[in-house]
Structure 1
């Protein structure tokens, strides 16, 4: 009986977790850390950077996830010495389509 209860509790926790989980700022930052050199100094983004861009955009399935990614990017841009022109060029250089302008002034709620 105790084992059955443990199994049910584990299933409930896993099931509930899958529904609640979404994209987090920590994941966004982790995925895009390989892009920092490019975003601050220019040049060419690394394959790891472009992979991180793809992973981040792929994980942002819902509107809430997309807003989270947008807000995380704006926050990171304000904390680091990121060049706005490099940030705007990054999706194109990584052959990724971002449906909104990447800017510190982007309205993430729209």
Structure 2
């Protein structure tokens, strides 16, 4: 069960990546994706209150980094791997991060997202 909740955390991050983004010059790396979203982990475990400002800033930063389809797919795959190592994540908390950070996600958040289909 902990693995499925960790996958839910990756799904919310994936959702954030799919939002239209500003211009970037270089391809996104796994370390950039993980670094941007790491402030959200404590909130994803507790689900209490609002995500911290650093979490929302990371969500916006990751959104700006993931401009192209390859960037979004790379970030998705990296974060799915990260989610497999995170224990105690609450899926409900994860799915609420975009709206609580006032980030519009134009698709349903799902743990079964196929990163190869992200455009």
Normalised-by-shorter TM-score class: 0.7 to 0.9
Equivalent runs, 1:59-98 vs 2, <5 Å: 59-81=65-87, 82-98=89-105
The Cα of 1:27 is off from its aligned counterpart by: 0.7
TM-score by length of 1: 0.74
Residues 53 and 97 of structure 1: CA distance in aligned 2, closer, same or farther (over 3 Å): same
Asked whether the equivalents of residues 33 and 62 of structure 2 are also in contact (C-alpha less than 8 Å), the reply is yes
Asked whether the equivalents of residues 74 and 104 of structure 1 are also in contact (C-alpha less than 8 Å), the reply is no
For structure 2, the 5+ residue unaligned runs are 1-23
For structure 1, the 5+ residue unaligned runs are 1-17
Compare CA radii of gyration and give the structure with the larger one. 1
Between Structure 1 and Structure 2, the one with more helix by share is 1
Asked whether the equivalents of residues 38 and 86 of structure 1 are also in contact (C-alpha less than 8 Å), the reply is yes
TM-score by length of 2: 0.69
Asked whether the equivalents of residues 32 and 49 of structure 1 are also in contact (C-alpha less than 8 Å), the reply is yes
Asked whether the equivalents of residues 78 and 104 of structure 1 are also in contact (C-alpha less than 8 Å), the reply is no
State the structure with bigger RCO (CA 8 A, min sep 6), 1 or 2: 2
Measure the CA separation in 1 of the matches of 2:82 and 2:111: 10
Which SS does the other structure have where 2:115 is aligned? coil
State the number of aligned residues: 92
Cα RMSD of the aligned pairs, angstroms, is: 1.8
